[in-house]
Structure 1
Amino acid sequence: MSIALLLIFLVLSALGVPLAIALGLSGVASVFMFTSTPLNLLSESMFSAMNSFLLVAVPLFLLVGQLMERGGVADRIFDFAHAAVGWLPGGMGHVNVTSSVVFGGISGSSVADIASLGAVEINAMTRHGYDKGYAVGMTLTTSTLSSIIPPSILMVIAGSIASQSIGLLLVAGLIPGLFIAAMLMVYNHFYSVRKGVGKPMPFSGGLLLRAGLRAILPMMTPVILMIGILDGFFTPTEAAAIAVVYTLSIAAVIYRRIKWKDIAPMLIDTARTSGNILFIAATAKLAAWVFAYDGLPVQVGNALGSITTNPMLIMLLIFLFLVVVGMFMDAIAAMFILIPVLLPPAVALGIDPIHLLVIVVVTLTLGLVTPPVGVCLFAAAKVADMSVEEVIKGSIGPVSVLILSILAMVLFPVLVIGPLRLFGMY
């Protein structure tokens, strides 16, 4: 059944059928061919996937991204990052990284990062002497930080699928995100020094203070969310609702960049994006039912155990597999399909579930910036008015650093789990 489902799904996807529909049709077809299960039970299974309080956080966080994207936040964040790290050698490249770190802590969306900050970052870097290909490549790569640093939409979905603490997962994504950012800044330092670009500006405490005050309100968003979730004041879903009210107040009342007439189009865009994501969730539930009926998790566990019982080597195999999958499949669809299959056998073989889920999310973000289906890759090409081939060429260096950083987290779980245990959270 599982083989039939995957083959039908691949054929339909290759023919251009939308992922959710291809997944649903392949699930129904495989069940119909191999079992006598009533189809009404399948619809009930799909409905149960949607009937989740945790998944309500997804459209709410998407709406937060919309509000921040259109609410005049990007320029304030960029100015703050410029004042904070623009005085370092390779300054404007560091500003690019820092801007995405801060924006990622607000929006949780890599595409929103490209749409809001992309043009500003690329133009600023080229004005400071950077090659446009490198500027676009760095902007593309740093956009992935928004999918890792809390409040990451992908972490919310992964926790919901795996029935793990979403609050813990959100916090677990913080250190890996900062680690990747640090590695990109190290790479940018050596690149800038070697090329003689990105001359630093003089440090100004006054400028940093003024820029910080201008950006303080949006930057408080992740602080409020994380403190509230970790202290138990509200759930991740309630936190998402609070974030909507808070960001709407900032963008519409304080900054006055959003008018009431702008809200309806944003709600419609959010509904469309959420519908795509949650439709995938519903049809993926059907695929997960097929895999469970077929005993696929047990078979995967036996297959991994026959190769090696070393948790590090198993994680390395999973990482390589996810890199390939992420190149051809949407990250959300891949998580709904693969987490129920990979998590049980991996945990049985001694792998920490939080470590595995973080690696799944972080590795699948590579698919956002790699061909042939990288959403952020095409968005960056459009923003920069460059061909996809030129963007790929310029991003080879930064993306290589991203891959090596993820590989370090695969081989050294302490980078993910260590901070949680250090602060007694896990």
Structure 2
Amino acid sequence: MSIFLLVTFLALSALGVPLAIALGLSSVAAIALFTSTPIDLLSQSMFSAMNSFLLVAVPLFILVGVLMERGRVAEKLFDFAEAIVGWLPGGLGHVNVASSVIFGGVSGSSVADIASIGAIEIKAMERHGFPKGYAVGMTLCTSTLSSIIPPSILIVIAGSIANASIGLLLVAGLVPGLFIALTFMVFNHFYAVRYGYSPPKPFNLRLVMTTGLAAILPMLTPVILMIGIVDGYFTPTEAAGIAVLYTLFLSVVLYRTIAPRELPQILIETARTSGTILFIAATAKLAAWVFTYDGLPAKVAGLLGTISSGPTMALVLIFLFLIIVGMFMDAIAAMFILIPVLLPPAVSVGVDPIHFLIVMVITLTLGLITPPVGVCLFAVAQVAKMSLEDVIKGSLAPMSILLGAILALVLFPDLTLGPLRLLGLY
């Protein structure tokens, strides 16, 4: 039954059928052919999947990202990042990393990262002597940080699927995101020193102060959210609503970079993006029911127990599997399908559920930057006006660094769980 569903889904996807429709048709066909379940119960199941307070956070965080992009907040964040790390050897490469970390803490979206500051990062690196291919590759790979650094839309979705604490997951994503950013900066340092790109300029404290004052209000967004969620002042969904109100105040009232007449179009854009994601969520509920009915998680658990000698090896195998999945499937669709299948078996062989979900989210972000369905890959090619082949060629080195950093997170769970235990949260 599960094999029929997966084969049908892959066939329909290969024919160009939208993911949500392909998944829904495959699930309904499998249920109709292999069970006696009344078809009218399927619509009720889809509705119940959407009747979730946690999922309300998804369109709200998407709206925050759109408002930040349209409100031209990215320039302020980039200028501040340049002031704090631009004086280091390989300065603008470090700025590329730091600006993605800062913007990720505001928007939670990799696509928004490229759309907002991608062109700024590429042009600035070129002006300071970096080859365009390297600048584009770094911009593409560092955009994944926006999907890892809280408030990450992917982490919110993963937590809602797994019925895990979204607040805990958001905190758990912070240190791995910063660890990956640090590996990018170490790589960029040695690259720039070796080839003599972007010589350092003196540190300017006054510039840090002035750009920091200009960027401090947008940067308060993740601080307010994380303190509020961790200390229990509000839930992740309520935090998303507060973030929307705060971002509206900055963009419409304070900075006046968004006119009130633009808001209907912004809401329509948010609704379209949210509708795509949540339609996948609704149809994925049916697929998860099929997998459970078919006993697929138990079968996968038995397979993992047979071919792995412990939780680390099991997670390495899942990591390799997710790399392949991410190349051919949207990250959100993959999470809705695979979390119900892979999480119970992984936990049964000793993998920590929080560590598993963080590793899964980070690994699937690779699919955003790899062919053939990498959304960020196509976006950066359009922004940089380069062919996909040239973008991929320039991305190979930073992409290998990203892979190595994720593998380190897989092998050393304390990088993810240690900070949570230190703070007494886990």
Task: Tell me, yes or no, whether TM beats 0.5.
Answer: yes
- Rounded to whole Å, the distance in 2 between the matches of 1:200 and 1:266 is 40
Instruction: For residue 306 of structure 1, give the secondary structure of its aligned residue in structure 2.
Output: helix
Instruction: For residue 197 of structure 2, give the secondary structure of its aligned residue in structure 1.
Output: coil
The question of whether the paired residues in 2 share the 8 Å contact of 1:106 and 1:218 is answered with yes
- Structure 1 counterpart of 2:324: 324
Q: How much has 1:309 moved relative to structure 2?
A: 3.6
Q: How much has 1:219 moved relative to structure 2?
A: 0.2
Instruction: For residue 173 of structure 1, give the secondary structure of its aligned residue in structure 2.
Output: helix
- Rounded to whole Å, the distance in 2 between the matches of 1:195 and 1:382 is 27
- Structure 1 counterpart of 2:308: 308
Q: How much has 1:306 moved relative to structure 2?
A: 1.0
The question of whether the paired residues in 1 share the 8 Å contact of 2:72 and 2:116 is answered with no
Letter in 2 for 1:8: T
Letter in 2 for 1:252: V
- Rounded to whole Å, the distance in 2 between the matches of 1:196 and 1:167 is 43
- Rounded to whole Å, the distance in 2 between the matches of 1:200 and 1:111 is 30
Off by >2 Å, runs of 4+ in structure 1: none
Aligned pairs for 1:20-419 (under 5 A) are 20-419=20-419
Letter in 1 for 2:15: L
- Rounded to whole Å, the distance in 2 between the matches of 1:143 and 1:19 is 24
- Rounded to whole Å, the distance in 2 between the matches of 1:89 and 1:199 is 6
Measured against aligned partners, the alpha-carbon deviations of 1:242-271 in whole angstroms (never above 9, x if no partner) come to: 000001100111111000011011100000
Letter in 1 for 2:166: I
- Rounded to whole Å, the distance in 2 between the matches of 1:54 and 1:201 is 46
- Structure 1 counterpart of 2:6: 6
Letter in 1 for 2:175: I
- Rounded to whole Å, the distance in 1 between the matches of 2:345 and 2:10 is 24
- Rounded to whole Å, the distance in 2 between the matches of 1:130 and 1:19 is 39
Letter in 2 for 1:3: I
- Rounded to whole Å, the distance in 1 between the matches of 2:139 and 2:195 is 18
Letter in 2 for 1:123: K
- Rounded to whole Å, the distance in 1 between the matches of 2:29 and 2:90 is 55
The question of whether the paired residues in 2 share the 8 Å contact of 1:74 and 1:117 is answered with yes
Letter in 2 for 1:284: A
Q: Unpaired runs of 5+ in structure 2?
A: none
Q: Unpaired runs of 5+ in structure 1?
A: none
Letter in 2 for 1:150: P
- Rounded to whole Å, the distance in 2 between the matches of 1:160 and 1:72 is 31
The question of whether the paired residues in 2 share the 8 Å contact of 1:54 and 1:236 is answered with yes
Instruction: For residue 317 of structure 1, give the secondary structure of its aligned residue in structure 2.
Output: helix
Measured against aligned partners, the alpha-carbon deviations of 1:222-247 in whole angstroms (never above 9, x if no partner) come to: 00000000111100000000000001
Measured against aligned partners, the alpha-carbon deviations of 1:360-390 in whole angstroms (never above 9, x if no partner) come to: 0000000000000000000000000000110
Report which stretch shifted further, 302-311 or 312-321.
302-311
Letter in 1 for 2:176: P
Report which stretch shifted further, 195-204 or 273-282.
195-204
- Rounded to whole Å, the distance in 1 between the matches of 2:244 and 2:376 is 24
- Rounded to whole Å, the distance in 2 between the matches of 1:312 and 1:306 is 14
- Rounded to whole Å, the distance in 1 between the matches of 2:110 and 2:92 is 20
The question of whether the paired residues in 2 share the 8 Å contact of 1:86 and 1:200 is answered with yes
The question of whether the paired residues in 1 share the 8 Å contact of 2:102 and 2:219 is answered with yes
The question of whether the paired residues in 2 share the 8 Å contact of 1:106 and 1:219 is answered with yes
- Rounded to whole Å, the distance in 1 between the matches of 2:190 and 2:349 is 40
The question of whether the paired residues in 1 share the 8 Å contact of 2:111 and 2:379 is answered with yes
Instruction: For residue 245 of structure 2, give the secondary structure of its aligned residue in structure 1.
Output: helix
Letter in 1 for 2:26: S
- Rounded to whole Å, the distance in 2 between the matches of 1:102 and 1:418 is 23
The question of whether the paired residues in 2 share the 8 Å contact of 1:309 and 1:349 is answered with no
Letter in 1 for 2:211: A
The question of whether the paired residues in 2 share the 8 Å contact of 1:2 and 1:294 is answered with yes
- Rounded to whole Å, the distance in 1 between the matches of 2:173 and 2:89 is 28
Q: How much has 1:323 moved relative to structure 2?
A: 0.2
Letter in 2 for 1:306: T
- Rounded to whole Å, the distance in 1 between the matches of 2:309 and 2:32 is 37
The question of whether the paired residues in 2 share the 8 Å contact of 1:89 and 1:189 is answered with yes
- Rounded to whole Å, the distance in 2 between the matches of 1:396 and 1:312 is 27
- Rounded to whole Å, the distance in 1 between the matches of 2:6 and 2:386 is 35
Report which stretch shifted further, 375-384 or 190-199.
190-199
Count matched residues. 426
Q: How much has 1:171 moved relative to structure 2?
A: 0.5
Measured against aligned partners, the alpha-carbon deviations of 1:286-308 in whole angstroms (never above 9, x if no partner) come to: 00000000000000000111112
Instruction: For residue 193 of structure 1, give the secondary structure of its aligned residue in structure 2.
Output: helix
Q: How much has 1:201 moved relative to structure 2?
A: 1.5
The question of whether the paired residues in 2 share the 8 Å contact of 1:148 and 1:177 is answered with yes
The question of whether the paired residues in 1 share the 8 Å contact of 2:77 and 2:99 is answered with yes
Q: How much has 1:199 moved relative to structure 2?
A: 1.2
The question of whether the paired residues in 2 share the 8 Å contact of 1:144 and 1:368 is answered with yes
Letter in 2 for 1:422: L
Letter in 1 for 2:404: L
The question of whether the paired residues in 2 share the 8 Å contact of 1:72 and 1:255 is answered with no
Q: How much has 1:72 moved relative to structure 2?
A: 2.0
TM-score using structure 2 length = 1.00
Letter in 2 for 1:133: G
- Rounded to whole Å, the distance in 2 between the matches of 1:71 and 1:305 is 51
Q: How much has 1:41 moved relative to structure 2?
A: 1.1
